[in-house]
Structure formats: structure tokens, C-alpha cells
Structure 1
Amino acid sequence: MKRLLVAFLLFSGFSYSQDNKVADLIVQGNKKLKSSFVKKVSSIKPGVALDSTIIEADIKLLKRLPSIAHAYYQVFPAEEPNEFNVFYNIEENFTIIPSANVYTTNDEEFAYRLGLYEFNLFGQNMTFGGFYQKDIYSSYAINFRAPFLFSKRIGLAVNYQDLTTQEPVFFDNTTADYKYNNESFEVLGLYQFNFTNRIEFGLNFFTEDYEYKFGATNPNIPQALRVKKMLYKLIYEHNNLNYDYQYVEGFRSIFNFQYVHSTNDAQLPDFLIGWNDFQYFKRVGTKGNWANRLRLGLSSNDDTPFAPFSVDNNLNIRGVGNTIDRGTGVIVLNTEYRHTLYEKNWFVLQGNAFIDAGSWRNPGGELGDFGKSQNLRVYPGVGLRFIHKKIFNAIFRIDYGYGITNNATNGFVFGIGQYF
């Protein structure tokens, strides 16, 4: 479409220059999504210079929004000389989406998370919804996110969570299981510097409750602990991804830094934690997509059984199990090749082959822990994706990971959306 447009402009004697102006921006094809919202977040406005690079940046931004499955533009001469009407054509997503995550391994209990989210509340790309989780114990959360609430750059997010799980605690080469509860309330301010860079910052007030259930004991490890904490959060994202339905291309980096202040310095001291996810996607031919994620993270290196980085099915290593180890540092690489096996109209069947590999620093340990064989996990595997192209994040995934390192397990991981 864009190539035909350029040819039309050249043939007609028109060109993009400062002499050519935008007469009007017309949004069409949208139903639930408000045209006023599209105009608010777009950089093209009536009266500005006609610039193809700005238009293409707008289209790239629109295709990232949950409410939009695809977008493209057209340019036609207006009535006045050197003025043009710009048309943004929108193909909407269905945005009231259930979510589901199911996971199990060959030696663990069945667990699941079910949710329902609206990703285009009031036609303004606001997200509202929540989930219920059953992982031995019941948990739930409610989330609200409005990145463009106040302007095209300023937004707000509010989250409430009451999460209860059975967590293994590792100490003295033994393991104990605790009932862990985290009840939190979070408020974040959202600010977008430009098309590719944004920031989130805010506070999280939460209460952690540990209750010993069974396993090893140690006089220095409390069997019951309840502490209130305050968390200061900063997230910086550089996003230069370009979407074409199920295909993604480009680079993205997400840096997350947190400072946690505890009211009980003796047992759970204040600590710092930070990690960065580097993501790289590349199209391979017409049906392939190579996807990569590298996570590097460190935290305060306290010798504590409650270390923040975990080894977990749903976070980093498919097939490894549900929180099988913890550490104060992490290096994880996920790489996979996705290939479209079948595509017709709205439906896509995609297959993938992956390798998940990672290593952790032991609590109180050294950076050399990353190189120790007992801390290394490598899990190759295969999976399938069932994709609806016109429903946001309507990707049902099944992955099977098989460990090839020491004391490895294997298992299935089910979920909604790509793994990363």
C-alpha cells in the first residue's frame, strides 16, 4: 500500500516537503476505539508538514496498542494546493479477553490462573481486569492501567493483589515449605518521552506473611514471620518493535529497579534489586520468526532463604517446575524459532522449538556461582501456538520442556500469549 502511494505521489508531481501540509487526519475502520483517542496519540495533526517518517512512526505506535490488530495509512490531495488528507485505517482487535495459565511437571501438583481483562475500556486503550489463581491456595488480583489517561505522554496504573502460594525455602542444603502470602497495593505514574522510550515510577505498599508448613527447620530461620514493607519502583523501557500480526521484528529493553524497605531490619533487611530484559526478534523468510530474551539481574546479596530470584516454569525455564530454587542473581537466555505451519483468514497455527537456559547466584555467594554446574539449568523443548489474529493476545500456547542438566525434570507449560 505504501509503495503504491509513493508511486502515485511521484507520478502526480507531489512530494513530501515542507511546502506540503496536512489538511486533516481522518480515522476510519474503527468501531469501539475512539477516533479522538487515535488523534490524541498521533503526531500528525492538521496544519503540520506532511512527513512520511512521522506518519510511519504513528502507524508503528498504533500497531503496538492492544485495541489494534493492524493499521495502515493513505494520503490523498485535499482541495487546497499543497494540502493533503491523511487517512489512518484501523483493523480493531476484540479486547475483552480471558486469560489462562496452566502448569505442571512430572512430580508437581496441577496449578492454574484464570483471568478476564478489557484492554480497550471506554475506547481509550485503558486496561481493567483481574485474575484468580489456584496454586494449592487461592489468590486474586485487580489491575487498572491507563497509559494515555492525562495526555499522549502521561498515564496512571493502579494494582491490588492478594497472592498466596506454597513456597520452598532453601537453607543448609535442605528445604522447608512455607505458606506465603503477599498482599499489596501499588500506584505508578507512567510517562512516555517519545515513540521508543517510556518510564514508570511509583510506590508499592505490601505485607508479607510466612507460615511454616513442613520440611527442615533451623533455629535461625523463623517458622512464622509477618512484616510490612514499602517498595519504590522504577521501570525504563526502550521499545523499537514492529508488529505484523503474529510476526515481530526489532529490539526491546526493559530495566526494572526496586528498593524495598522493611519494618523488621533484623530478619528481613532492606534490599535493592534490579534486572534488565533484552529482547531481539527477527523475521526469517516469510513464515519464520526468531525470538530471544536475555535477563540479567542482581539483588542485595544477603544470605537468606527468602532470596528474590526464583527458578520457575512460568518465569524463565519451561519444564523446570514451580519455584524449585532461589538466588540473589540471575542470568537467563530464552531463544526460540517460531514458524507458521498453517494460516487462513483469522486463524494461525504456529510451531516453535526453544532452548531455555539459566544460572543463579546462591544467597550470600559469589559471582562465580553462575559458572557452577549445580546452578545451571538447560531445557530444550517444542511447542504449539493457536493464534486468533483479530483478538488481542489470543495466543494459546503449549510448551514441553525437557531438562538435560543434573537432576532435571520435564513438563508441560500452558498459557495465553507468547512466553516472551
Structure 2
Amino acid sequence: MRRIIIILLSQLVTILLFSQGSTIATLDIRGLKKTKISFIKNVINTHSGGVLDSLQLDEDIIRLKRLPLVSHATYQVIAHKGNSYNVIIDIEENFTLIPTVNIWTATNRQFAYKLGLYDFNLLGKGIAFGGFYQNNGYDTYSINLRAPYLFNNQWGIAINHQNWKSEEPLYFNNGSANYLYNNRSFEVLGLFELNFNHKFQFGVNIFTEKYKYITGLTADDIPTNFEVDKELFKFIYDLDFLDYHYQYVNGFRSLLYVQYVTTENVYQDDFFIAWNDFFYYKRIGEKGNWANRLRLGLSTNNESPFAPFSVDNNLNIRGVGNLIDRGTGVIVLNTEYRHTLIQKGWFAMQTNVFLDAGTWRNPGGDFSDFANAQNIRMYPGLGLRFMHTKIFNAIFRIDYGYGITENASRGIVFGIGQYF
């Protein structure tokens, strides 16, 4: 009780001080090793000589904790002279030079691997740069640059190039066929942060798709080999009210993706696709976290094996299998409870209990498809998380999903980072 009274009194004193037109005499940023102080000062809105605003300081701390380079951040306010104060921001940096190593068995039963390296704090300025090489029987590579605060604390840019190859199943009415799919793309996006909660991305992706028939069913109206050039116009709106405390997350976030693809070929028309991911996280006690993601999406409803929404282990339903179906509409709910079992220094281990459930609209179908039992999939399961709390996204996850709907499968899913 005494502790609660002291906290309330300190908060009351802080509010009274901040309401008197107090100013910031000095701003001291501590704890930085790789990151440039100039970059941190560019990101936040609190500055020396400015007005002392507790709400602005709270927002700046949350903004810093959203950066990949920051593990945790706090601030102190110390009396200086008269009505001025010294502000100290303490930052715990993440290690941000992250290698990627994945090993698995590909669809063609060949041994597959992926090697990559990314720096999420290039030059100490919060720039993410890196790439990967993948071999799953075919050579794939990607190079990515993302600088969200390149010009100021509102404007940035992202540039991506990828040459992707993989065996892709295409689904027809009476069966499926495997194609070698090759996508060569170049993308440029503008990044704009309107304010603390509202961010936008917009730009264009110019790409070439190649399909080469390998095995399986074919049809008279679907070619065995073809190549087509396309342009994709992209818009993303990020409404973010999340707050982070190491591996714990609290709050709400909405991510809206809108894309329009233009093409000139007899097998595919121009099409529109949009989906929204709604996230809700709730901290439960000291060690618990309830996490939720709801995805709602629709696209142009062409009766085509190239439908954009897929049913896949690594995207939406854990345990269902790799790319087992496609659709032109999607409703997916992922919900899980995460509980920290061990927390010692930099290491933490979590367990989770989850339920992944979803349904799809068939290509050329109607909205009643969402209620069709053959399209509904429900997979409860259990998982483990092994974390390094001082390295960005250093979370190794293992999940086991068990299907309880018609013709369901089961399986283990490995990955890096939380599932959502």
C-alpha cells in the first residue's frame, strides 16, 4: 500500500511540474554503442530547449521501443534550475547483425537451405539492409534496403529486389499440377509517418513471372509454359497502438494492404487484392501474453488456379501443410496464450497454446464458400519459444498443430520470430 501511495504522489508531482510550462535544459541519451545520437534525436520529438511534456516523452519511449535496434528504453526527469529540467533517456540496444539459417525438405523432396544476413541498424542510423540466398533445388536470392527515417522523422524509402524460384502447386477442379515458378521483381516504396500512430507505404513493384510445367494434371486452357510482365501498385496503412516490454506486447494494431496488379496476357486479367490484419495483445499478469490476429481479405474473383490467397503452414494455419490450397477470399483467426517459463538474463523460454482457424472462398465461387465445411480448417496446438532478449527477433519457435476438421492433417512448424 505504501508503495502505491508513493507512486501516485510521484505521478501527481510530475503532472504538476509539467503543467507549469517547464522547459528542457538538456537532453542526455545514454546506453548507445552502435547507434548515432543524431539518429535518435531525429526520431523523437523531445529536444533540448523544448517544452517538458510527459505525454510526448511517453510517446517517444514507445516509438523507440518499436525500433529493431532498441531492446528497452526508459527516461528520467531531474530538476536543473528554476523551471527547467534535465531529461535522461536510457536505451538498451539490441544486437542487430542477424544471420539467417534455415534447413528443410522442399516440395520436390530435395534437401533445401536458406542463408542470409541482415543488419537492422546499418551505419547506426536505423537502416535495415541485407539479403539471402536460398537453394531448394533452384537458386533464389533477395536484396532489401529499408530506411524509414532517411530524410527526417516522417519520410523514408524502401528498395527491394528478388529473384525467386520454387515449385508451386496449381489447383484445378479435378486435381493439381506442379509448376516451376520464377518471379523476378524490383520494388520501390515511399515511407511516410503522419504521426505517432499512423504510417503509410506506397509504391510500385515491377516484376516478371514465369511458369514451367513439371508434373501433374494439365488443362487445355492453361499453358504448360508462359512468361508475363506485370506491374503491382501497393498501398499499406499501419494504425499502431502497440507497446513493447521486451518479449511482451500490449495494445491494438491494424495493417491494411491494398494492391492492384496490371498485366497483358490471355491467361490472367488485371486484378485487385486487399486484406486487413487486426492485432490485439493483452498482457496477463507478470508472465502471460494473450495474442490475436484476424485477417479479412478479398480479391478479384477470377476462376483461375492462380488465386492469390493460400492455405499454408507458414502463413496462417499451423499444421495444415505447405501451400495446400488457394482462394480469392480469406477469413483467418489466430489466437494464442504465451507464458514465460524461464527468464534469466538474456535468455527466455515461452510456451504457448494456440488455435488457428480459417476459411476461404473458392476461385470463381461466392460468399457462401466461407461457410462450406470443406473450406473450413481448425487447428489447435502447442508450441515453445526460445528467445535471446538482447538480439532483435532472435526467437526460435516450434509449433505443433492438430487438425480437428474434415480431412485434417497434423504437423510441426519451425520458424524465426513470433508467428504473429
Task: Provide TM-score, normalisation by structure 2.
Answer: 0.95
Q: SS where residue 238 of structure 1 aligns?
A: strand
Q: 17, 20, 45: which one pairs with 2:19?
A: 17
Contact 1:240 1:250 in 2 (8 A): yes
Aligned amino acid, residue 334 of structure 1: N
1:118-267 paired onto structure 2 within 5 Å: 118-264=119-265, 266-267=266-267
**2:324 paired with 1:337:** no
Change (3 A) 1:105 1:122: closer
Structure 1 residue 111: Cα displacement: 4.8
Contact 1:106 1:409 in 2 (8 A): no
Contact 2:358 2:378 in 1 (8 A): yes
Q: SS where residue 116 of structure 2 aligns?
A: strand
Contact 2:42 2:153 in 1 (8 A): yes
Aligned amino acid, residue 378 of structure 1: M
1:399-414 paired onto structure 2 within 5 Å: 399-414=399-414
* Structure 2 CA distance for aligned equivalents of residues 391 and 12 of structure 1: 34
Q: 30, 33, 42: which one pairs with 1:31?
A: 33
Contact 1:336 1:355 in 2 (8 A): yes
**2:351 paired with 1:351:** yes
1:315-330 paired onto structure 2 within 5 Å: 315-330=315-330
Structure 1 residue 115: Cα displacement: 2.1
Structure 1 residue 135: Cα displacement: 3.5
Aligned twin of 1:115: 116
Is there any run of 5+ residues in structure 2 with no aligned partner, and where?
Answer: none
* Structure 1 CA distance for aligned equivalents of residues 322 and 172 of structure 2: 18
Higher RCO structure (Cα 8 Å, ≥6 apart): 1
Aligned amino acid, residue 285 of structure 1: G
Structure 1 residue 288: Cα displacement: 0.6
Structure 1 residue 378: Cα displacement: 1.0
In terms of mean alpha carbon deviation, does 69-78 or 102-111 score higher?
Answer: 102-111
Contact 2:272 2:299 in 1 (8 A): yes
Structure 1 residue 114: Cα displacement: 3.3
Aligned residues: 418
Q: 46, 58, 70: which one pairs with 1:44?
A: 46
Once the two structures are superposed, residues 152-196 of structure 1 have per-residue CA deviations (whole angstroms, 9 ceiling, x without a partner) of 000000001111111111112211111111110000000000001
Contact 1:17 1:49 in 2 (8 A): no
Q: SS where residue 370 of structure 1 aligns?
A: helix
Aligned amino acid, residue 135 of structure 1: N
Change (3 A) 1:233 1:414: same
Contact 1:103 1:412 in 2 (8 A): no
Change (3 A) 1:92 1:328: same
Q: SS where residue 374 of structure 2 aligns?
A: helix
Contact 2:283 2:290 in 1 (8 A): yes
* Structure 1 CA distance for aligned equivalents of residues 108 and 399 of structure 2: 17
Contact 1:27 1:87 in 2 (8 A): yes
Contact 1:103 1:313 in 2 (8 A): no
Contact 1:274 1:299 in 2 (8 A): yes
Aligned twin of 1:72: 74
Structure 1 residue 47: Cα displacement: 2.3
Structure 1 residue 9: Cα displacement: 8.0
* Structure 2 CA distance for aligned equivalents of residues 105 and 186 of structure 1: 27
Is there any run of 5+ residues in structure 1 with no aligned partner, and where?
Answer: none
Change (3 A) 1:2 1:303: farther
Aligned amino acid, residue 243 of structure 1: Y
Contact 1:101 1:414 in 2 (8 A): no
Structure 1 residue 319: Cα displacement: 1.3
Q: SS where residue 15 of structure 1 aligns?
A: helix
Once the two structures are superposed, residues 53-101 of structure 1 have per-residue CA deviations (whole angstroms, 9 ceiling, x without a partner) of 10000000001100110000001112x3101111110111000012345
* Structure 1 CA distance for aligned equivalents of residues 229 and 302 of structure 2: 19
Once the two structures are superposed, residues 290-339 of structure 1 have per-residue CA deviations (whole angstroms, 9 ceiling, x without a partner) of 00001100000001111111111111111111111000011111111100
* Structure 2 CA distance for aligned equivalents of residues 303 and 161 of structure 1: 28
Aligned twin of 1:371: 371
Task: Provide TM-score, normalisation by structure 1.
Answer: 0.95
Structure 1 residue 106: Cα displacement: 12
Once the two structures are superposed, residues 367-400 of structure 1 have per-residue CA deviations (whole angstroms, 9 ceiling, x without a partner) of 1101101111111111110011111111011111
Q: SS where residue 358 of structure 1 aligns?
A: strand
Change (3 A) 1:385 1:12: closer
Instruction: Quote the sequence identity (%).
Output: 57
Aligned twin of 1:56: 58
* Structure 2 CA distance for aligned equivalents of residues 51 and 117 of structure 1: 36
